[in-house]
A and B are shown apart, each in its own frame.
Chain A
């Protein structure tokens, strides 16, 4: 009793005048918040995670949730979160496991950058009437082309590296089968297939039912090498080596045994119920030279037919690391910022390690240009891309394309409750429990994800048109189309943008 009970995080109230006792809340809540007893819905607010499933399913809007209904004595330093973390660790002596992305209120650089538009001197373009080029190619571009002309035809003599062709610069990042359900992966797969873009498999192998979409899949090779065999490598459109993840830079991942069901075990190629442990480093990579060897081994295994990407978490030294990767024969570098999501990460890493993707992309792009090797790799930005404006801004800071993760899950119903690590996702996304997975209908969810990609693509072309730009390539690295609004001088120097008014 030393510490006692801490206040409930969420208080649920049921409007009994509205409630028709249909019991949908009881059925839908996997956390057992609700029960129907003696003709009345009773609640246990302490179990609530604010996933909003009950709210979404209640036909009478009879349920209300209030966050933090009990005030602590306010204090700017000893916040509620800080105090509750101490109570938790004083009780358990353990590392706090958290979900989703960085939950600290760091300023968002995207929100302090504004985009440009044409007025008078340089006419804007109407994307409804004019063609807008959003097609993006990811992979090495030759620094020069050798050609030969004969009979009016031009023959390209330079050997070109394989590239991925995207119809929009928006891809969906690596979320493994295991971290998310097969229905969630299938929904994403159909969406990228329909919209002409790509998705990542994550480090969970490729389920057989997704083979029809393999031409739109980037297969991942991470330190656990789960699900990796030659068949898997040959199926992917590209291969991505995962070195790090923005949500937890520097550490590996553990898929808890509870999530390793029969099917997950099959695609990961590990026994049912065993922990899938991805160690922090790859056991064969301890230097840029070793990374080069893994890149080349993957290319050699697939006869140099597929682009190989390398994903790193955005950290202090990203620019120098990316310059090393660009020399390793890799075709693209993925920079995953510190707002990137995750099913589970130690809270201390999620909230405190890494840097924002805006700064990382700008510095990587600048470094590669200064060394004359920007054409050697494409740059993919990920981690905290929330809307089409973020896509436009990060491309203007130097990215070729983006990966979205959380946004795609939100399009499938995710309410960002951040409780993915419990494996009980009531939306059927971050769970393997069959009754919960069945709640996500890939027919509908794939449409929702495709709609999101389509809508952002439309907005992106409108933004470009307004700025008088008709090709995504003219936006890439075009920092003159950005201005910093109340950013300090040092960060504007890193981003290489001018302040508003300048």
Chain B
């Protein structure tokens, strides 16, 4: 592994919270040690309040760690905050970095000046982003008049304008419709391919992780609960895939198919849901077994969703 672009050792952040006159300490991130190599695409997942955003804020020098060390792009985030800011681009899905009252284009100009881009760098990079994120139609529109999908594209462009080595996205697809999500993911894939950008993203959307990430970190109550690839994660937690079949006529519950568990039947058995272990069998084999007993009209396969996977990990640790 080459020099990590992110490296933390025993990283810890506590918050003092006051409830009902009593002060207590909340450990948001607890003894977190992780390494991310340049060029990786890492999904950082966990329940709300698990410590994802706090980690990101320590990686970027916004929050000061209580204990432990952190190095991002070879720099100390708090002390070298301004130098680090030139190498990192961050999108907070819930916060805007665009100038609310000004046209989108104007935000890009200001940010280009802030990051010290030359006129030619500014022109070519802006053109590239406008084209890839399809922003031409709303460049002259004040930010406050944009739709959420448009604004998120603007946010991503704003964070990537200075071609950062490391891009951190905190819930980038939150609230977006399917098409907008798809467009954003395609952009990020293309951006990685052309520029070799390192990607760290937090999300509640399994689609984001599946399409963008080659590595997954799961955080639970501030601690690292899983580090590996996505299929491995499903294996670890034994998350099952679910085959849903619509049958031509009502049949009895489809029990007894190898490595398969019957979940529910609807309409006297017209629609049945079967959970199967993806390690032991395949959707095709299960389907073949079902077809021996009844005529299948339609089918869908449900993937384990991120909440389910996280829940299972958490359950296994408690």
A and B, one complex? no
State the B residues within 8 Å of A (CB).
Answer: none
State the A residues within 8 Å of B (CB).
Answer: none
